[in-house]
Structure 1
Amino acid sequence: MRASDKVSKRPSWVQVIAICLLVAAVTMLATGYILSARYERADALASGDYKKLDEIKTLLDRYYVGEYEEEDLLDMLALGYMSGINDKWAYYTTAESLQSLYEDKAGSYAGIGVTVTQDADTGLLTVMEVYDESPAAEAGIQRFDKLYSVEDELVSVLGMDATVAKVRGEVGTQVRIGIQRDGEVMEFTVERRVVKKTSVYSELIDGEIGLLRVSEFTAAAAEQFDEKLDNLVDIGAKGFIIDVRNNPGGQLTTLISMLDRLMPPGEVFIERDKAGNENRLSVDEEYYDLPLIVLVNEYSYSAAEYFAAVMQEQGRAFVVGTPTTGKGEGQQTFTLSDGSAVTFSVIKYYTPNGVSIGEMGGITPDMETEISYEKLVQIGSMEYTEDPQIMAAVSHMKESLLK
């Protein structure tokens, strides 16, 4: 078979669990449905290990000289509860923040033009992508800045959903954002606008290599990927370098759709819940039988990691870069009776061979290639010849094309 040939396979439906994303600019590999559940208030605080909370409240009511709001107290208790379950991806969302997230995004609500991911250790949100010509870019916010506060409220206390909800607002209004950079905290005032986002970028490099950078696995990214992949082949690409560095993940449906274009028939993904029930996902569409290299780094999360891991495991792609972090679980959000919500891990993900990226601590590239911090923050904006990891991939691709 020639390298440029498409391999045709019989069409079939890909079975996937529906994905619900709570955050506009922040996406993660999340499975399941946002469920509503009514919970009766129990006497848990007066029995067992929870009795100490009842004792604390009694002492506060008897001796505390200040005042506190019962609603704020309950929110902080819920926040602490989710922080203590040993799930670094778990968090609590207040009713007010959740309502804001569900407001009609097609209306007058807008953002600042960044993609972020949550730092599991600090609770801060790291800026992974600043969109071109966005309010954030114009204000001077940079990739790898950490969102420290929004309108003087700490991000580590707000949590991810509440932070995003506070950043969003009416078109033309302003929001004050505290940014942590190089150990210092600085404040930016940013105007909210509707920002059009592109998730897939492409170019033909070295005359015969198609370079695609996927910044996030959004719903729109699947179609963008298809179009750019086909276009690169049409203009002479004989192999692909796919860059998922600094990619925070995204939708499972998009991940499967992209793998459909790159892999032969077979299983590509396994989901397993607490009861041991499995959902096995497979691909069975047209794909390009061309050499593949995937670029990853420590900021490649979740869907980005499995994109590389599945093809590496099956011998379909060569992986270049630095080891990834290892996010191998999917989260589900449950809406509580008062309108607030809790999110925690309910699904574990595995490769076709049963490997959990979370348990193994991430992906180890076939070729580890370092990059300086100065160049790391320029990924996607500097010339490809200035990127040592892309150049290492180009060198390996040339060897593959000569075989």
Structure 2
Amino acid sequence: MNLNWVRKIKHSVVLLLTFSLFFVYIPAALGATAQQTEEVRELLEQYHLKNPQDTDLANKEIDEMVDSLNDPYTEYFDDDEWSAYSSELEQTFVGIGIVMREDKGGVYVEDVIAESPASSVGILAGDLLVSADGKSFKGKSMADIQKEIRGEEGTSVALTVSRSGKSLKFKITRKSVHVPVVSTKMLDQGIGYLALSSFTSEAGKEVKRELEKLEKNGLSSLVLDLRNNGGGYVVAAQEIAGLFVEKGVLAHMRDRTGHDEPLSISGTKRPYEVVILVNGNTASASELLSGALRDYGVAQLVGAKTYGKGVVQSLMPLSSGGVLKVTIQEYYTPKGKKVDQVGLAPDLALSGAAEQLIGAFRLAGGKKLAASWQNGILTVNGIRMSQPDAARKEQNLWYVNLKLGAEIAGAKLSYDAKNRTYTLAKGNQKETIKQGDSRILIKDGRTSLDVRLLAKWFKGVTFSTSGDTLKLGSR
């Protein structure tokens, strides 16, 4: 499966945890009817966490009422906006099925979604996007290129890409694309990796199915990747938590009166360790699940502090048309820890996508590392990611990002500003190099180290080069 929202029904209200990382909401409530405006006012007065009074909302249009709450998660959707938002929740889009990245003035294909139009015609990760329908992309931003590639389902786009210096042309028909929310891989013997990109309505079932496949392949510890996962349906978080916790509470939900409504977990234990990858875009349902599994001693968190969205929304269809998403509760972890505007601090703090993955891998018991870098794409034990600054080639010499090199070697990196020296320490071994040393390359604000020196310093670190590809290993 190619790499790369939790629901509870109560009184006809769908509870939702969602922080959308990519959906841009543009208010369209200016044309709302008087009935819709009054219905929104009544629902906000009755349910919103801040308990607004009629005097606070009187004589205001829908967008004015919503703005007055200073709540980024309460929103009104007309029918078209709701359709777009629903597609976002379920990770379904109309397009050609590629993920893009910008690097050195060009826009490249970072990933191709399985079974998408782009996949079917042979577009590959690493392709440089050149033009669409004869319109050059030179000097265009990623947003500009997205506009050129987008279109209605069933229409076609003539896309030109550059691959290894060769120009290739493809005619691609746009269609509805479902982005896989679960992807898995065995990183090393017994060390499994499962990435969850969104808590869709089917995420619980998909995680269970893929987890069982990993277990059949000898899973002894799991790296669960929730980085950049903005949340989703509550029931999905409950289902996934139930895969690791026999009986307990997912979170404590508190409404505006202070009433505590615990969300229960009922499931089974797993006989192996779990390490959860998190970052600043890990939000909402992702924080709900991460906080619960850590509180129960099931998992440790690796990466960066999470976003800090600890409030719950209800989706309320209006009888007069449209949907109101309104904040109704705040949640706390099983041990009562606040999440909203605070976030979850990782047990092991690391920056950089690859460095975080390696740290989680090693914490899960992994030992053998194999990394390769080409054209801004870094692959670590089969997991691909965009990390343009991971390596550099200068005058036929290869340099690896110093932080990444230290992580690959399993060494701790420190910098002495007074003496302008870098130190890599591993056990009793300490290696120091001055900032002005020719084997240190500082460019574009990034510090890199000659790979030959890294391999010389640390036993077990290996490297090889071929054209524009650098391979690094550690055992």
Q: Does 1:267 align with 2:249?
A: yes
Q: Does 1:111 align with 2:94?
A: yes
Q: Does 1:367 align with 2:336?
A: no
Q: Percent identical across equivalent pairs?
A: 25
Instruction: Give the direction of change, closer, same or farther, for the CA distance of 1:222–1:49 in structure 2 (3 Å limit).
Output: closer
Within 2, Cα distance between the matches of 1:236 and 1:295?
21
Structure with higher helix content = 1
Q: Does 1:201 align with 2:168?
A: no
> Secondary structure of 2:231's partner?
coil
Instruction: Give the direction of change, closer, same or farther, for the CA distance of 1:309–1:174 in structure 2 (3 Å limit).
Output: farther
Within 2, Cα distance between the matches of 1:309 and 1:86?
26
Matches within 5 A, 1:91-110: 91-95=75-79, 97-98=81-82
Matches within 5 A, 1:212-291: 212-291=194-273
- Indicate conservation of the 8 Å contact 1:26/1:115, yes or no: no
| Structure 2 portions without partners, runs of 5+ | 1-6, 24-33, 42-53, 100-110, 130-140, 158-171, 368-475
Within 1, Cα distance between the matches of 2:292 and 2:98?
25
> Secondary structure of 1:355's partner?
coil
Q: 1:314 aligns with which of 296, 299, 302?
A: 296
Instruction: Give the direction of change, closer, same or farther, for the CA distance of 1:52–1:89 in structure 2 (3 Å limit).
Output: closer
Matches within 5 A, 1:46-125: 77-95=61-79, 97-98=81-82, 111-112=94-95
- CA displacement at 1:388 relative to structure 2: 1.5
- Indicate conservation of the 8 Å contact 2:156/2:173, yes or no: yes
- CA displacement at 1:210 relative to structure 2: 1.1
Partner of 2:373: none
Instruction: Give the direction of change, closer, same or farther, for the CA distance of 1:100–1:289 in structure 2 (3 Å limit).
Output: closer
- Indicate conservation of the 8 Å contact 1:267/1:282, yes or no: yes
- CA displacement at 1:335 relative to structure 2: 4.0
- CA displacement at 1:282 relative to structure 2: 2.0
| Structure 1 portions without partners, runs of 5+ | 1-14, 29-36, 54-76, 117-128, 153-166, 176-189, 377-386
- Indicate conservation of the 8 Å contact 2:95/2:153, yes or no: no
> Secondary structure of 1:395's partner?
helix
Aligned-residue RMSD, C-alpha: 4.6
1:18-72 superposed Cα distances (whole Å, 9 cap, x missing partner): 646799x9899xxxxxxxx966969x9xx9788998xxxxxxxxxxxxxxxxxxx
Within 1, Cα distance between the matches of 2:97 and 2:256?
34
Scaled by the length of structure 2, the TM-score of the pair is 0.51
- Indicate conservation of the 8 Å contact 2:9/2:15, yes or no: no
- CA displacement at 1:148 relative to structure 2: 9.5
Instruction: Give the direction of change, closer, same or farther, for the CA distance of 1:26–1:207 in structure 2 (3 Å limit).
Output: same
Partner of 1:354: 336
- Indicate conservation of the 8 Å contact 2:17/2:312, yes or no: no
Within 2, Cα distance between the matches of 1:303 and 1:237?
25
Scaled by the length of structure 1, the TM-score of the pair is 0.59
Partner of 1:69: none
Instruction: Give the direction of change, closer, same or farther, for the CA distance of 1:234–1:276 in structure 2 (3 Å limit).
Output: same
Instruction: Give the direction of change, closer, same or farther, for the CA distance of 1:172–1:322 in structure 2 (3 Å limit).
Output: same
> Secondary structure of 1:219's partner?
coil
Counterpart amino acid of residue 343 in structure 2: G
Within 1, Cα distance between the matches of 2:97 and 2:230?
12
- CA displacement at 1:311 relative to structure 2: 1.4
- CA displacement at 1:341 relative to structure 2: 3.9
Partner of 1:164: none
Q: How many residues align?
A: 291
Partner of 2:438: none
Counterpart amino acid of residue 78 in structure 2: T
Counterpart amino acid of residue 111 in structure 1: V
Larger radius of gyration between Structure 1 and Structure 2: 2
Partner of 1:186: none
- CA displacement at 1:313 relative to structure 2: 2.1
Partner of 1:398: 365
- CA displacement at 1:192 relative to structure 2: 4.6
Within 2, Cα distance between the matches of 1:84 and 1:146?
34
1:236-273 superposed Cα distances (whole Å, 9 cap, x missing partner): 11111100001111111111111111123222222222
- Indicate conservation of the 8 Å contact 2:224/2:275, yes or no: yes
Within 2, Cα distance between the matches of 1:85 and 1:218?
28
Instruction: Give the direction of change, closer, same or farther, for the CA distance of 1:41–1:399 in structure 2 (3 Å limit).
Output: closer
Instruction: Give the direction of change, closer, same or farther, for the CA distance of 1:146–1:336 in structure 2 (3 Å limit).
Output: farther
> Secondary structure of 2:361's partner?
helix
Counterpart amino acid of residue 296 in structure 1: V
> Secondary structure of 1:194's partner?
strand
- Indicate conservation of the 8 Å contact 2:281/2:307, yes or no: yes
> Secondary structure of 2:178's partner?
coil
- CA displacement at 1:223 relative to structure 2: 1.6
Structure with higher strand content = 2
- Indicate conservation of the 8 Å contact 2:250/2:288, yes or no: no
Matches within 5 A, 1:134-173: 134=116, 171-173=153-155
Q: 1:326 aligns with which of 308, 330, 341?
A: 308
- Indicate conservation of the 8 Å contact 2:93/2:178, yes or no: no
Within 2, Cα distance between the matches of 1:239 and 1:82?
45
Within 2, Cα distance between the matches of 1:304 and 1:215?
9
Instruction: Give the direction of change, closer, same or farther, for the CA distance of 1:191–1:85 in structure 2 (3 Å limit).
Output: farther
Partner of 2:355: 388
Within 2, Cα distance between the matches of 1:26 and 1:315?
29
- Indicate conservation of the 8 Å contact 2:184/2:194, yes or no: yes
Instruction: Give the direction of change, closer, same or farther, for the CA distance of 1:51–1:194 in structure 2 (3 Å limit).
Output: closer
